[in-house]
Amino acid sequence: MLLPEQCSSVTMSSIHLCSYCLTLSCLIKELTMYNINISSRILHFLRPAGTSRGVYTTRKSYYVTLSDTNQPNVVGIGECATLPDLSCDAMSDEEYEQKLRSFCDDFCHTGIIDIDAMRPYPSMLFGLETAKAQLDAKGSINFFNTAFGRGEEGITINGLVWMGTFEEMYQRLETKLKASFRCVKLKIGAIDFEKELDLIRHIRQAFTREQVELRVDANGAFAPEDAIPRLEALAQYDIHSIEQPIRQHQWQEMARLCADTPLPIALDEELIGVNDPTEKALLLDTIRPQYIILKPSLHGGMIGTREWITMAKERNIGSWITSALESNIGLNAIAQLTADIYGPNITTPQGLGTGQLFTDNIPMPLEIRDDQLWISD
């Protein structure tokens, strides 16, 4: 086995990822040698992204670049990124780098991703799965040979309106509607609830439920005792669903809400840290939500996302997939996974419209046409 060696940068086609970079090399099986470079990058939001948990202005991501000696000119890149105070594998940069190096070293020794060992670290698992999927696809971004990946069809997505002042949210909403989005998701819980209702009332005065589907995301902002009255107020405006009305880890309270709610509830944060299949089944059977929303980097990587969706389908629970503020590297991987799970002809809007959030995103052939995400020519 070759010893790890340090390098200062990774350059791949049009992508240049600067920072420290660790190369791990080892012999796999007979003559195959895997190389894994680890690098990091700070991304900057075009404008502050507000949620009820706070405001994001920058985003740090790690990238694993995988190659092997059988395909010297082919690489696979995966993105590993956590959200502070949300991801179950969020930790200091030093701890994160050490743990990621350890998993990459293990992969180099075995040539196999140790799913069970990596379950508690979904962002790292997702990144390594992505890199391996692209390498197996001989470097293509069409990991699973889908119609979307071939550029033959798009994936319907929702428009996202971040929290802000009433005026800011109103302006962002108008922009999304003018851009032909037929499903709009509003982040709520940061300003006065009555003002948020005014914004929703405005939409419904101009557009029917058939014209524009409305989703709201409270990010756990409601107190349990306030939840039902607020859900009843929202239900007057033909809301498709509300994400995570109360904070996670209140299974009994959430179960009561899901049983009594006047509008469908979708779980998101509630799924974070629930990585064992037995515990996943227990959560779904206890809470019985109407929907679950999957973010691969938060909810178990690709394999964990597939598990959640399979279990939900067995219980007649709906689902869709969203990104978690990844760069285009992660966004493409999530879109390819979405196409493989739900495609072809995906009509339920997915949360994949985040590629335009950063001033310095990594170039990828992804583009939004009306209300669909496409692989561009």
Residues with catalytic function: 187, 295
**Residue 19 DSSP SS3:** strand
| Side chain identity, residue 75 | V
What would the two tokens of residue 66 be? 């995988």
> In what order do the strands lie in the sheet containing 318-321?
159-161, 183-187, 213-217, 239-243, 265-267, 291-294, 318-321
Sign of CA dihedral 249, 255, 261, 267: positive
Question: Kind and range of the H or E element at 304?
Answer: helix 301-314
Give me the phi and psi of 87, to 5 degrees please.
Answer: -65, 140
| Residue count (the chain) | 377
Residues 324 and 296: their CA atoms lie apart, in Å, by 8
**Are the beta carbons of 343 and 335 closer than 8 angstroms?**
no
What would the two tokens of residue 176 be? 């999304």
DSSP 346: -
Strands 213-217 and 159-161 come out as: unpaired
**Are the beta carbons of 121 and 99 closer than 8 angstroms?**
yes
Residues 377 and 375: their CA atoms lie apart, in Å, by 7
**Residue 220 DSSP SS3:** coil
Residue 46 Cα distances to 49, 312, 370, angstroms: 9, 35, 21
**Residue 326 DSSP SS3:** coil
- Picking from 238, 229, 243, the residue whose alpha carbon sits closest to that of residue 205 is 238
**Are the beta carbons of 143 and 137 closer than 8 angstroms?**
yes
Give me the phi and psi of 331, to 5 degrees please.
Answer: -60, -45
Q: Is the peptide bond before 344 cis (omega within 30 degrees of 0)?
A: yes
**Residue 324 DSSP SS3:** coil
